[in-house]
Structure 1
C-alpha cells in the first residue's frame, strides 16, 4: 500500500508537471518540475525514473478518467447524442492537447496505446448508437467521426463552446427533414 505522503508527492509532481508543460512547453526539465513542486529531485526520480514515465502517468490518468466518464454516461438512459456531448464537455477540462504533443515522440507505451484503443472503441460504439437512433448523420463511418472527435478535443484551447467544436458538432448532428 502506498503511504499517504508518497501519494501526495506523486500527485504534486504530476499536477506541477502539467502546469509547467502547459506554461512553458515540453522542454521543461525534471529538475524544474521537482523545484516547482517543492520536492527534491531524488523524490521525483523515485516516483518517475524518467520523463516518459511521468508523461505516461499523466496521459494514462487522463485516459482512465475519460474512459470511466464515457462508460458512466453510456450507462445513463439518455440519447447517445447527449452521451457524446457530455464526453466532449468532459474532455475540455483534460490536458489532451498537451498529452498528445508530449507522448507522440517517442511512440506512446503499450499501456497508453491500449487505453486510447479502449476509449476509441467505446466512442465508436456510442457513435454507432447515435447514428442508429437518428441523432447523428450517417454519411460518415463511426471511425471517421471518432477521428474528428479526437482532432476536436486533442488541440490547444479546445472547449465545448469554442467555434471549431461548435461547428464540428453542428455538422455531425443529424438534420431533421420536413
Structure 2
C-alpha cells in the first residue's frame, strides 16, 4: 500500500474511533470521512461499508490486546497485578464497540479466532494468578475472563471507576477493606 493511502486509512480509523467514542457506533460514514479530512469516496475505497471499518478496528484492538497481554506476562510482577494493569490498558480502547459488534451477528473467522486466543491468554493469566494466590480460587478462570470483559467492554470504562474497583477487589484472594 502506498504511503499516502496508508496515512488516509489511519486517518479514517482514528476519526472513526473518535466519533464512535463520542456518539456510539451509529456515526455516519460521511461524518467519519469529514472528521478524517477526506472525501467519502476515499473512505469507501478503503472500507466498502461500516461493517468493514468496524471489523478492522475490532481486529486491530484485539491484536493490540494480545500483544499487551504477552508483554505484561513477561514482567516480573504478581499475575494479579498483570490483570489490574490490563484493566488500565483497556480503558479507552474500543472494546465496548467490539462487544456491541459481537452481539449483532456472527463474527468473521479471523475475529472469532483472535478473540478465542485472547480469551485463552486471559484464562491462563487467571489460572496463574490463582496459583500464586493473588486471585481467589473459588471462581473459574473462564468466569474471571467474563468479569474482566464486563469491566472493560462498556462505554466509558476506566480502571479507577466503581465497577472496576469492586470487581478487582472482589477477585483478590483477601480483598482489602476499603474505607467509605
- TM range, smaller chain: over 0.9
Q: Out of 120-129 and 78-87, give the one that drifted further.
A: 78-87
Partner of 2:130: 131
Q: Distance in 2 between matches of 1:124 and 1:27?
A: 32
> 1:7-45 CA deviation, whole Å, 9 max, x = no partner?
110011011111112222222221221122111112111
Partner of 1:92: 91
Structure 1 gaps of 5+ residues are none
Q: Distance in 2 between matches of 1:51 and 1:18?
A: 12
TM-score (ref. length: structure 1)? 0.93
Structural mapping, 1:7-156, within 5 Å: 7-156=6-155
| Cα distance, 1:3 vs structure 2 | 1.5
Aligned length: 175
| Cα distance, 1:103 vs structure 2 | 4.4
Q: Distance in 1 between matches of 2:86 and 2:126?
A: 12
| Cα distance, 1:96 vs structure 2 | 0.9
Q: Distance in 1 between matches of 2:85 and 2:161?
A: 15
Q: Out of 3-12 and 120-129, give the one that drifted further.
A: 3-12
Partner of 1:166: 165
Moved over 6 A (4+): none
Q: Distance in 1 between matches of 2:35 and 2:174?
A: 50
